[in-house]
Chain A
């Protein structure tokens, strides 16, 4: 009997029935480790995103196209990730600042009746990551890496672009900008909120 118990104890020691893994360790293991989202995001910003803004659609033209034929405009100018997602647009525009608030700078677009907000508050979501259509989720074995890119791109906007915009923005100033615009599946572009990528004061 004792021998049998000893044998079972030995077996359990050699081949444990379960392993205790702390949540922190499990979370760390989950972070694929090799992928550095912050480095990737900085490089993407400088070498892909900023150059892409040169080819971005003019926001007043996009808004006119969306008013005329939303489905065609989304297809022509936007990108959608997977099934049922929002449409993301990379846009540029110019106008005059009409209000400066805590979380947004409002701009009346040139040659248009539209007013848009340039977001200067907390930023969530994937507008910056997905607006160019240059990043493909299929290239990332662990989608957490792909999601981390969003977090890092958003932090560039929050820490670099938005503070500079807020500092210079004053009612009546002329401004030129490029940014990302997210339009939910069934939504109308009534009061577009743009995530600023590049801001210039001509």
Chain B
């Protein structure tokens, strides 16, 4: 009996030792990069996070994705864990332009470089570099297309994203810089749906009840465009109300090809995420002179050119 226990103890100890040492040994060889992303509850950010991780792994790092769930408190605790965990760099998609600055400063103080992806922070002396979609210009182009499609007269609603995020307002302001020049285009509702599909569905339903004669809905991202479209389908109005999104998400690009959604702005999440990983690699190899902000072009996707786009990029 004793022998049996001893055998088991031995086996157990060996297995534990193997588990303890084998896995970390492999990972310990590689420096670690953290990918901290605002939310994984939106496919677009999943693409962003996965692309960043894949590129970091390809460059020889051990990469882990952390989901902030759109919560700056969760984001702060990820930063603490990442700094304490000995990560060498952070590829960061912030939750809040103001609220996330302190987290980036903490990392900087601990000599961990931060590369912002897609969303900016309101500071130019905290992150090492920020790769940002040119949301404003993208929505200027989208606004011009909106006027062409809807006409110079009509009623429309706008669904805004998270009100603490600069992208929300850069998109909204780019759009309005065009559309507000046409006094016959009346905005009958402007509400936030937090970049969230389910919320956009609810908000659109209530807007439709209040204003059944709507001609168009401009949505600050594609998840909300999908929610708005879903509400229109349920209300039997999908062919009467034109939906405009922003992101270039695959489901929306497909609906543009079917002429069910009018247009979107294609951002390039894979390109931005991969560049950020490359920047981190260059930094860790000694490079220091990075431009603080690098705008990445947004391209207008319409039924006329939709065949050129898909899989979150321009087809080669």
Chain A interface (Cβ < 8 Å from any Cβ of B) = 21, 23, 26-27, 30, 32, 81-86, 122, 124-126, 137-144, 147, 150-151, 185
- Per DSSP, are chain B's interface residues mostly helix, strand or loop, or mixed? mixed
Closest chain-B Cβ to A43's Cβ sits at a distance in Å of 21
A124 pairs with B169, CB closer than 8 A: no
B295 pairs with A85, CB closer than 8 A: yes
B122 pairs with A142, CB closer than 8 A: yes
Whether A147 contacts B173 in the complex (CB less than 8 A), given A30-B166, A124-B140, comes out as: yes
Assess whether B181 is interfacial by the CB under 8 Å rule: yes
New A-B pairs, 19, CB < 8 Å, besides A84-B297, A143-B120, A147-B174: A21-B163, A30-B163, A30-B166, A83-B131, A83-B271, A85-B134, A85-B295, A85-B297, A138-B124, A138-B291, A139-B124, A141-B122, A141-B123, A141-B124, A143-B293, A143-B295, A144-B169, A144-B170, A147-B136
Chain B interface (Cβ < 8 Å from any Cβ of A) = 97, 120, 122-124, 131-132, 134, 136-137, 140, 143-144, 160, 163-164, 166, 169-170, 173-174, 177-178, 181, 190-192, 268, 271, 275, 291-297, 299
Distance, CA A23 to CA B134, complexed state (A):
23
Closest 10 CB pairs of A and B: A82-B295, A84-B297, A138-B292, A26-B163, A147-B136, A138-B293, A85-B297, A83-B296, A30-B169, A137-B293
Closest chain-B Cβ to A45's Cβ sits at a distance in Å of 18
Residue of B nearest to A81 (CB): B295
By a CB distance below 8 angstroms, the chain A residues around B143 are 124
By a CB distance below 8 angstroms, the chain A residues around B124 are 138-141
A142 pairs with B297, CB closer than 8 A: no
Closest chain-B Cβ to A125's Cβ sits at a distance in Å of 6
Distance, CA A82 to CA B174, complexed state (A):
18
Closest chain-B Cβ to A172's Cβ sits at a distance in Å of 32
By a CB distance below 8 angstroms, the chain B residues around A147 are 136, 170, 173-174
Distance, CA A147 to CA B191, complexed state (A):
23
Whether A185 contacts B166 in the complex (CB less than 8 A), given A84-B268, A142-B97, A147-B173, comes out as: no
